[in-house]
Chain A
Amino acid sequence: MTRNGSTAAPQDTVERALSLAKPGTDCVVIADEASNANLRWAGNTLTTNGVAVSRSLTVIAIDRRGDGTAGVGAVTRTGLRPDQVEDLVREAEKAAAQASPAEDVADLAGADATIRSAQSWEAVPGTTDIGVFRGFAADLGETLRAAEAAGRKLYGFAEHGVTATFLGTSSGVRLRYDQPAGRLELNAKSADMSRSAWDGVATRDFSDVDVAAVDAGLAQRLEWQARKVELPAGRYETLLPPTATSDLMTYMYWSAGARDAAEGRTVFSRAGGGTRVGERLASLPVSIYSDPSYAGLECAPFVVAHASGRDSSVFDNGLAAGRESWISEGSLSALHSSRFSAAKAGLPVTPAVDNLIMDGGSGASLASMISSTKRGLLLTCLWYIREVDPQTLLLTGLTRDGVYLVENGEVTGAVNNFRFNESPVAMLGRLAEVGATSKTLPREWGDYFNRAAMPTVRVDGFNMSSVSQAS
């Protein structure tokens, strides 16, 4: 398993760090090996590009004390040489010895034979490089030239990365996961920049990305924008496509931690104490869930915690994180948690999982939802989403790259952009229709979270708070 030069295989590094830990103490070691390649273009020409690799080792030392408390020292270093591993272990142990008691102290999670990872512990870590784009880059070059000839300007970004994570603990956990993640974002503008359309594709390996087809779809959207319609701020029946739905639902998911809800600090807190688990939130029987084995959105089926947070705990490293329903048949059914925060909240332990799926609708296509619309707005995507009020989870943000007026079942023109003020929780209560679920790239959060499958949703009275001049 050893490599040439100054590095060692991550599995060997994990084992070595564990063996160097003070005998009889608990220790968690996480090795992350990441590689990334990217291309970026603007105005039909390349702007930046690059490849990057990183290699980091996290040692979490636990100093258990006679009174049942424990100090935790979590130290991460990149580019570590084999001869520096012991220094890192000692640094973590020193930090643990000095640390005040960790509130989430617990036994380390033990090895769980039911966890099935896609790769074996021994296998070489997955990587990527600029070669992942060889076919795509040629297609992109052709697409850029074709756009130039057709009077369109293309802007965008293609990125592919693989992060291989190796988790070992003194309690016997040995788990690894190789997480590929890629995306294409393409923005087409008219030559005078007055019209703009966007589409995004999440991919695991770029073999399924057809950039010319994406561009063709955007060209059609730009045609839709030939007729401009000025509309005022107000509440509109609105069709949110999967990317827009995913950005709102993802933020809601991130806000659905058990601890804050139990402490009375979120929209999921029940007035007077406790949480809203069990309460009906949605007007339709939709389900929102995470599933590490969902086809095309696969992710790690176990907890990896480099540091403790409000609903994560270093003591939970290696704990199974399987399919979990957050909203079932329209009702709040779980809040994500660590063992510690679940106990505080009086709820089952339900660790967060790194994907999100919403389904349970009619299965209608976007085309059929447009055709059944008497008068409403069709959005492309949302942008610059920020929390305004945590009590209601009121979010603000902008529409971007195409708002369309739908009248009598047809797109009749392009509308100005709006600033919205909406709560995804309140929005669930005003769902009028839920269409077919498809894999999508969240426009706003895709940098951090790009494993989502969402439907187009029809929402009554979506709050467009003011008009944005941006085009």
Chain B
Amino acid sequence: MNGQRIDAEFTGLPLRQLADAALDAAKTSGAQHADFRVERIRGQRISLNDGKLQGLSDSDDAGLAVRVIVDGTWGFASAVDLTPEAAAAAAREAVEVAKVAAAMNTERIELAPEPAYGDVTWVSDYETDPFDVPAKDKVAQLITWSNRLLTHPVVTHADASLLQIKECKFYTDGATTATQQRVRLHPELTAIAVTENGFEDMRTLAPPAGRGWEYLTGAGWNFDAELTELPEFLAGKLVAPSVEAGRYDLVIDPSNLWLTIHESIGHATELDRALGYEAAYAGTSFATLDKLNNLQYGSPVMHVTGDRTVTHGLATVGYDDEGVAGQSWDLISGGVLTGYQLDRRMAQLKGFGRSNGCAFADSPGHMPLQRMANVSLQPAEGGPSADELIAGVENGIYILGDKSWSIDMQRYNFQFTGQRFFRIRNGRLDGQLKDVAYQATTTDFWNSMEAVGGPQTFVLGGAFNCGKGQPGQVAPVSHGAPAALFRNVRILNTAEENS
């Protein structure tokens, strides 16, 4: 808990009065369980093209939500008017929805128990609320950065964007009442070089972060250094040779590996997916429940955790959207699958005893789902630097930054590209490559991981927009990773793939 306070504008709403109206109406209408949320989500998106303002828009989304269980069936309703009448009406509507839905329900909903925490508050760790910074100052910062890129002779165009979110959330189920606030932002700059022969682009590696405006002024990332080197790297990419398809050893930087972790571990260890609840949409998982504690997911150096607690993590909360306290736990230990991500329903259904706090709804208009925790590959204590990993490679590629990603509906077959690719010959970097994609099957890939870097290589990456569920919801999530060494991975030439 830092020194920030929850916005008075949010705490000044009649939160408890609304909750009383909703919970009373739900109970009176026949609900055996009811929980209630009020949310206010502020957003601001700024985009620039070639140092000129392309768009600046503000959003402010507020509303309330009631979730009930009636005779073992879910019901959910939401409203935008923050009045006791609207809260009570939403509760009655949620009960009505449950009654309509009961005809199709054959699996009784029960929730794993969670201690009552009483009336609690939590605020994420940031220094300066970006919504307190004048928009003109933010635009000026992006103009300055864009112009830095545009002064380089190789840069034809420069795109810049900044997305900022502040999420205020009130939750109560009668036993726990949690009032929370968190802030996150994502700055991105892309330099584009257009030539007679086509074009290339390159984006900053700076990840989105659960930080405030201080992130753009020096806390947590060195933008100055990155903007200095970016055009030079782009110039090198323009003249780089196209990769020869084949098998290579890879040293993967955390700026790329976070996304591979997200797709091939994060989603694969969601228990609702493993049980088939997302089968028609996001998909299932090869890591089915019968493989718990016996699937050799990866090599023995692989230790993956789930958490909702890491400082500046995008999925970090004090309490989830079912009143479960934030926790940290193992998902993969010594390369073996040892855990899943759970909500209260899944935890009860499969006898886990307690949820590990992964329920999240992205807005007051949506019902909470099991969503991803911060899922991170842990570094090796005293482990090697990226240079030391590279030194151990005779014929390989060093990959930085995320770009294209895709994985199948059971999380087996994936393909990723990146921002920067460096040839490794005899333990040293030997210029850039282009047209590189790596393609593998999840367990083959992670079992080919020979070494993980030390804590000095660890970086928290992530995304604002992890999609799941129907209706579709987006969730912010972080993934920490060290640099890591993989042996004998298939590399495609993307230009040849189109020929």
A positions within 8 Å CB-CB of B:
5-7, 36, 38-56, 72-79, 81, 91, 95, 98-104, 130, 133-134, 137-138, 140-141, 144, 153, 155-157, 159, 185-187, 189, 193, 196, 198, 263-265, 269, 271-272, 306-310, 383-392, 394, 396-398, 400, 417, 419, 421-423, 426, 447, 463, 465-471
Q: How far is the CB of B21 from chain A (nearest CB, A)?
A: 14
Q: Is the CB of A50 within 8 A of B412?
A: no
Beyond A45-B104, A104-B54, A157-B280, 17 additional pairs, beta carbon < 8 A: A40-B470, A45-B107, A50-B75, A50-B76, A50-B367, A54-B61, A76-B60, A103-B53, A155-B276, A263-B156, A383-B408, A384-B409, A389-B435, A391-B199, A397-B406, A465-B439, A470-B283
> With A52-B365, A397-B406, A398-B409 given, is the CB distance from A46 to B101 under 8 Å?
yes
B151 interface residue (CB < 8 Å to A): no
B58 interface residue (CB < 8 Å to A): yes
Q: Is the CB of B406 within 8 A of A386?
A: yes
Q: How far is the CB of A366 from chain B (nearest CB, A)?
A: 22
Across the two chains, which residue of chain B brings its CB closest to A49? B101
A138 / chain B contacts, CB cutoff of 8 Å: 103
Main secondary structure of the interface of B (DSSP, over half): mixed
Across the two chains, which residue of chain A brings its CB closest to B407? A384
| Binary interface encoding of chain B residues 79-115 relative to chain A, with 1 for a CB under 8 A from any of its CBs, else 0 | 1111101000000011011101111111100000000
B221 interface residue (CB < 8 Å to A): no
Q: Is the CB of B134 within 8 A of A98?
A: yes
B408 / chain A contacts, CB cutoff of 8 Å: 383-384, 398, 400, 417, 419, 468-470
Q: Is the CB of A187 within 8 A of B100?
A: no
Across the two chains, which residue of chain B brings its CB closest to A75? B58
Q: How far is the CB of A81 from chain B (nearest CB, A)?
A: 8
| A5 CA to B80 CA, complexed, in Å | 13
Q: How far is the CB of A273 from chain B (nearest CB, A)?
A: 9
B56 / chain A contacts, CB cutoff of 8 Å: 72-74, 95, 99, 307
B122 interface residue (CB < 8 Å to A): no
B351 interface residue (CB < 8 Å to A): no
Across the two chains, which residue of chain A brings its CB closest to B414? A419
Across the two chains, which residue of chain A brings its CB closest to B45? A307
Q: How far is the CB of B78 from chain A (nearest CB, A)?
A: 5
- Give residues 11-69 of B contacting A (CB, 8 Å): 45, 47, 49, 52-63
B490 / chain A contacts, CB cutoff of 8 Å: 466
The CB with the most chain A CB atoms within 10 A, among B97, B194, B441, is that of B97
A392 / chain B contacts, CB cutoff of 8 Å: 495, 498
Q: How far is the CB of A470 from chain B (nearest CB, A)?
A: 4
B197 / chain A contacts, CB cutoff of 8 Å: 271
Q: Is the CB of B77 within 8 A of A79?
A: no
A198 / chain B contacts, CB cutoff of 8 Å: 280
B157 / chain A contacts, CB cutoff of 8 Å: 263, 265
Give 6 closest A-B pairs by Cβ, nearest first: A79-B80, A50-B76, A155-B280, A187-B280, A264-B194, A307-B57
Our pick among A137, A265, A272 for the contact of B196 (Cβ within 8 Å) is: A272
| Binary interface encoding of chain B residues 277-293 relative to chain A, with 1 for a CB under 8 A from any of its CBs, else 0 | 11111011010000000
Q: Is the CB of A421 within 8 A of B277?
A: no
B447 interface residue (CB < 8 Å to A): no
A186 / chain B contacts, CB cutoff of 8 Å: 280
A189 / chain B contacts, CB cutoff of 8 Å: 279
B positions within 8 Å CB-CB of A:
45, 47, 49, 52-63, 73-83, 85, 93-94, 96-98, 100-107, 134-136, 139-140, 143, 156-157, 192, 194, 196-199, 201, 276-281, 283-284, 286, 365-367, 369, 404-410, 412-413, 415, 417, 435, 437, 439, 441, 469-472, 490, 492, 494-495, 497-498
A308 / chain B contacts, CB cutoff of 8 Å: 54-55
B63 / chain A contacts, CB cutoff of 8 Å: 54, 78-79
Across the two chains, which residue of chain B brings its CB closest to A196? B279
Can you offer 10 A-B residue contacts whose CB atoms are under 8 A?
A140-B104, A141-B103, A155-B276, A269-B199, A307-B56, A389-B495, A398-B413, A419-B408, A419-B439, A469-B410
A467 / chain B contacts, CB cutoff of 8 Å: 413
A133 / chain B contacts, CB cutoff of 8 Å: 100
| A36 CA to B98 CA, complexed, in Å | 16
Our pick among B57, B77, B409 for the contact of A52 (Cβ within 8 Å) is: B77
B283 / chain A contacts, CB cutoff of 8 Å: 383, 470
A45 / chain B contacts, CB cutoff of 8 Å: 104-107
Q: Is the CB of B62 within 8 A of A46?
A: no
A44 / chain B contacts, CB cutoff of 8 Å: 106
Our pick among B101, B281, B286 for the contact of A469 (Cβ within 8 Å) is: B286
Our pick among B134, B194, B471, B497 for the contact of A394 (Cβ within 8 Å) is: B497
| A45 CA to B102 CA, complexed, in Å | 10
> With A99-B139, A137-B103 given, is the CB distance from A310 to B54 under 8 Å?
yes
| A298 CA to B309 CA, complexed, in Å | 47
Q: Is the CB of A130 within 8 A of B96?
A: yes
B406 / chain A contacts, CB cutoff of 8 Å: 384-386, 396-398, 419
A310 / chain B contacts, CB cutoff of 8 Å: 49, 54
A155 / chain B contacts, CB cutoff of 8 Å: 276, 279-280
Q: Is the CB of B404 within 8 A of A387?
A: yes
Across the two chains, which residue of chain A brings its CB closest to B263? A384
Q: Is the CB of A5 within 8 A of B194?
A: no
Q: Is the CB of B82 within 8 A of A137?
A: no
Q: Is the CB of A137 within 8 A of B441?
A: no
Across the two chains, which residue of chain B brings its CB closest to A42? B277
The CB with the most chain A CB atoms within 10 A, among B81, B134, B286, is that of B81
| A53 CA to B63 CA, complexed, in Å | 10
B284 / chain A contacts, CB cutoff of 8 Å: 193
The CB with the most chain B CB atoms within 10 A, among A42, A50, A56, A102, is that of A50
Q: Is the CB of B58 within 8 A of A53?
A: no
A72 / chain B contacts, CB cutoff of 8 Å: 56
Q: Is the CB of B74 within 8 A of A49?
A: yes
Q: Is the CB of B413 within 8 A of A137?
A: no
Q: Is the CB of B97 within 8 A of A98?
A: no
A264 / chain B contacts, CB cutoff of 8 Å: 156, 194, 198-199
B55 / chain A contacts, CB cutoff of 8 Å: 74, 307-309
Q: How far is the CB of A55 from chain B (nearest CB, A)?
A: 5
Q: Is the CB of A470 within 8 A of B410?
A: yes
A306 / chain B contacts, CB cutoff of 8 Å: 57
Q: Is the CB of B413 within 8 A of A468?
A: yes
Q: Is the CB of B280 within 8 A of A469?
A: no
